[in-house]
Amino acid sequence: MTAVKDATDDYFRHKSDNQVNNRLSEVLINSKLQNEKWMNVKVGDIVKLENNQFVAADLLLLSSSEPHSLCYIETAELDGETNLKVRHALSVTSELGADINRLAKFDGIVVCEAPNNKLDKFMGVLSWKDSKHSLNNENIILRGCILRNTSWCFGMVIFAGPDTKLIQNSGKTKLKRTSIDRLLNTLVLWIFGFLVCLGIILAIGNSIWENQVGDQFRTFLFWKEGRKNPVFSGFLTFWSYIIILNTVVPISLYVSMEVIRLGHSYFINWDRRMYYSGKSTPAEARTTTLNEELGQIEYIFSDKTGTLTQNIMTFKKCSINGKIYGEVHDDMGQKTHMTKKNEPVDFSVNPQADRTFQFFDHRLMESIKLGDSKVYEFLRLLALCHTVMSEENSAGQLIYQVQSPDEGALVTAARNFGFIFKSRTPETITVEELGTLVTYQLLAFLDFNNIRKRMSVIVRNPEGQIKLYCKGADTILFEKLHPSNEDLLNLTTDHLSEFAGEGLRTLAIAYRDLDDKYFKEWHKMLEDANALMDERDERIAGLYEEIERDLMLLGATAVEDKLQEGVIETITNLSLAHIKIWVLTGDKQETAINIGYACNMLTDDMKDVFIISGNTAVEVREELRKAKENLFGQNRSSSNGHVVFEKQQLELDSVVEETITGDYALIINGHSLAHALESDVKNDLIELACMCKTVVCCRVTPLQKAQVVELVKNYRHAVTLAIGDGANDVSMIKSAHIGVGISGQEGLQAVLASDYSFAQFRYLQRLLLVHGRWSYFRMCKFLRYFFYKNFAFTLVHFWFGFFCGFSAQTVYDQWFIALFNIVYTSLPVLAMGIFDQDVSDQSSMDYPQLYEPGQLNLLFNKHKFFICMAHGIYTSLVLFFIPYGAFYNVAGEDGQLIADYQSFAVTMATSLVIVVSVQIALDTSYWTVINHVFIWGSIATYFSVLFTMHSNGIFGIFPSQFPFVGNARHSLTQKCIWLVILLTTVASVMPVVVFRFLKVDLFPTLSDQIRQRQKSQKKARPLRSQRPQTRRSSSRRSGYAFAHQEGYGELITSGRNMRAKNPPPASGLEKTPYNSTSWIENLCKKTTDTVSSFSQDKTVKL
């Protein structure tokens, strides 16, 4: 049964894999471009890619549509980073262009490294035209990337299929089994050992009986055989009892479990509350063997990009000259929360505005209308200081090609407020300022990098003034300000703290007026530094530092990295369920921390946030040691001696651990993690990490994600879940006990490797708190009842052996033994295992603490098994000895003896069916029509089959098979038999009823309390536990985050990424009226009309 089910799961996975394998790519075959399936793409093929297309294999870039054969790729599937990256072809191959004939004749030979999982390194040599050319990662496009902002490109396949770096990082697929499965395997071995012990006891009893009683008994029966060997008789009896008592080994249990799991999987698939209408995507259980493990999760490992976030940046707020824009105010000028009734700013007067952009603070538009010079300068900076490229589509609409979504949000905001970036050349930037074209001469571009954390442009405006515009991290930029900015600095710092408290990504904005003579001297030094061979980068960095000083602060921007809907509530609920969430992302540290605060995983109330960023093993070890000393020392001082902590202790009580570590977080970089995963540091890392409430691992590779998951699995022995949406998450999804794929924007790789999939992160709480908890609850209750039932049914034979000379005589009719597990008791326990629930789905969501029993494995473990075993043994004693004592020397109502074997067997069988049916009725918490039909129908079926098999008609047809003719009718018509059955049932069930009543009354669990509340408030919906979103009004930390890559400034100033266009005006410094009437004039006119119409209103809403 299990093999068939697993084969079915594998078949559906195979069908899903075919969706990827059958994707089409254009491959150059016989000098023609032909569509070829990905599965047929092989090394050496020339492949054509088009814009927004997934890359099918690891390619050597040969040529592209862009100048100098550049191409832009998005690597979110590989490393989680949202910014675009540049790849370029060798100059010798870029000449091939799109000439199919020349490409078909390309016969270069590439000698390169063997397939490996290093995403950021590639070494090889191209031999072509009697010359050799070195290859590196800048010439390679990896599978999993998406081509962006590039019309087409051609590449030669270097690695295909399992040799690609993406698949090399995916890890091996492992057979996943639940902890209950592993426990069951152990218990079955124990039960088999118990069966052998029973057989040995009865065999020894048979040998003794044969030796002491057998001879006289043989004489009594007039047997003429010679004396039997007692030892040999015991040996035969042992195997006979092994056969009779084999029902104690739960063979049918495995079949029933698979049926129950299949039902639970369909419930997940059919759950409408996990259906995402936006993409018509239902939740899908891609495996049917792990459902109950969903109710035992202790650690969740989540990707960031596309999993927690939508990968969409929106300009939300800004601070300009000490004034915040972006907040919503009421008619009295008081700050209010945003609602659906708030009207966004009307940008219809700007014909080139981005219609998708929304801003709700009308005061910024009013400041523009009033000609606020600081606002103008602020927006001018956003339109000039960036690496965005512009082009017009066929409809004449302005399209921005952005290297990072942050820059796209800032440039789009400036565009909508009237400062429209139009075009650029290596020497100029053209901006339409409120309807007037202004061309700035680009004098220098001071590029961004992760050390500088800022970027600057130096431009000359039409008036001849030289200005430096700079944007970057507030922690860096504020140190460069002129002393006269102190008051504005304090005000802006407060604003930035407020933005950071709201989880927004912030940048500080500043400018500087430069003297012409000073700039020329500085520029000459920069040219000299660029010509140096030694210490070139250091000299250039020093010159950048020199000119980026005495800046004048303009304000700050606040961009929202949009979270997926319901992320904060989901994380809050899961945290209340004592589930620890670790974020594993390939993105930058600042971005990861920012999202941590936005999701409320990191809070300002935390005692400490440990940041591990060492570059060597020694540094990492020292940082971990200091963090542990800090954490343990603080807890010793705050615990007042009530908590004794051992440094080497890894297995801590969960309650004590939560008390100790609720206020700490750990941030660790990928390069530090590589050292921390070494054997001698591993213990320190896992001990510190598991003591922290939140862990964020940034800049990690796909393989490191899997290593972190394995670390927690092996050292904490905890049940883990990994969730992600990209190919870079596949390895951790395969490594975790449960893998969840989000069918997002990054492809299908994560979904194909997952055990469960859905479209939104918020569905995770329903998957775990409802379906997972219910599956665990149902499976545990099913197992407890199944073991109880089997012991109660089987051990009656053991007691009977002491009264039948250990002769291996069965106490029941053979047909009853055959039908008991298959017909009489199979359906009720299946109904309970599939449909039962202790509380409703809404209560499961409202009270996440209900999830804790699964994490602590309280509902089924070895202790619970022995309790079920004891319960079954007690029931078997009652089932045997009460009828035995009642039948001893008793006559029936007709004066005849009723203590015959057949009547005894019928009485016991009837008692057993009724007792186990009453027991499952007591165990059932949630009654459905199916439960009623199956439980009471099973009893009715038993009596129907019993009277049929004991009837004259069936005896007449099969006299040797049904010897109990007329017995049921004779026995069950006597009142004393029913009194015996009633006494047996009461004696079996009453202790359970008393125990459960006292337990619920004296020591109720949380589910008992909620269920009692539901019964008392049937008409009133239970109050949902209120969990206010803990947004911080202020946060003394930097909200800086900027997804950008170094190198774009050089591309722009060199012109390598620009197509040839009409030359700019000769001087490059002219102002040109763009329209006869600018849109700002239209705005003013529109405002005047509005004021005249509503002169009584003091505030004009545009």
Catalytic residues: 303
Any idea which residue has 């542990």 for tokens?
A: 628
Q: Quick one: which of 821, 961, 978 has its CA closest to 903? A: 978
Residue 981's CB is within 10 A of a number of other CB atoms, namely: 23
Q: Are the C-beta atoms of residues 472 and 453 closer than 8 Å to each other?
A: yes
Smallest CA-to-CA distance from 79 within 638, 727, 696, 692 is with 727
CA 189, CA 171: separation in Å to the nearest integer?
Answer: 33
Query: How many residues are listed for the chain in this entry?
Result: 1102
Q: What is the largest CA-CA distance in the chain?
A: 133
Which residue type sits at 565?
E
**What 3-state DSSP class applies to 546?**
helix
Q: How far is CA 38 from CA 17, 83, 170, 188, in A?
A: 11, 26, 18, 47
Query: Helix (H, G, I), strand (E, B), or coil: what is residue 448?
Result: coil
Rounded Cα distance between 48 and 26, Å, is 5
Question: Is residue 1024 within 8 Å of 596, Cβ to Cβ?
Answer: no
CA–CA separation, 367 vs 322, rounded Å?
13
Interatomic CA distance for residues 968 and 977, integer angstroms? 11
SS3 421: strand
Q: What is the DSSP letter of 395?
A: T
Q: How far apart (Å, rounded) are the C-alpha atoms in residues 420 and 430?
A: 9
Scan for tokens 């079955």, then name that residue. Answer: 188
List alpha helices for 51-94, DSSP H: 76-79, 91-94
| Residues 735, 706 contacting (CB under 8 angstroms) | yes
Determine the 3-state secondary structure of 430 from DSSP. Answer: strand
Number of C-alpha atoms within 13 angstroms, CB side, residue 168?
16
From residue 949, alpha-carbon distances to 5, 946, 966 in Å are 36, 5, 9
Reduce the DSSP state of residue 726 to 3 states and report it. Answer: coil
**CA atoms of 429 and 441, how far apart (whole Å):** 6
CA–CA dist 808, 30 (Å, integer):
80
Quick one: DSSP state of residue 1046? T
Structure tokens at 36: 């070829």
| CB-facing half-sphere around the CA of 253: CA atoms within 13 A | 23
CA distance 607 to 666: 12
Report the candidate in 582, 611, 577 with the shortest Cα–Cα distance to residue 599.
582
Count how many Cα atoms sit within 13 Å of the Cα of residue 502 in the half-sphere of its side chain: 19
Query: How far apart are alpha carbons 811 and 798 in whole angstroms?
Result: 9
Name every residue whose Cβ is closer than 8 Å to that of residue 306 and which is 6 or more positions away in sequence.
76, 724, 725, 726, 742, 744, 745, 746
CA-nearest of 884, 934, 871 to 911 is 884
Q: How many CB atoms lie within 10 A of CB 961?
A: 11
How many angstroms separate the CA atoms of 451 and 51, rounded?
32
CB atoms within 10 A of CB 1018: 6
What is the residue-wise DSSP string for 646-675?
A: -TT-----HHHHHHHHTTEEEEEEHHHHHH
Token pair 């490594």 is found at: 735
Count the Cβ atoms, other than its own, within 10 Å of residue 354: 17
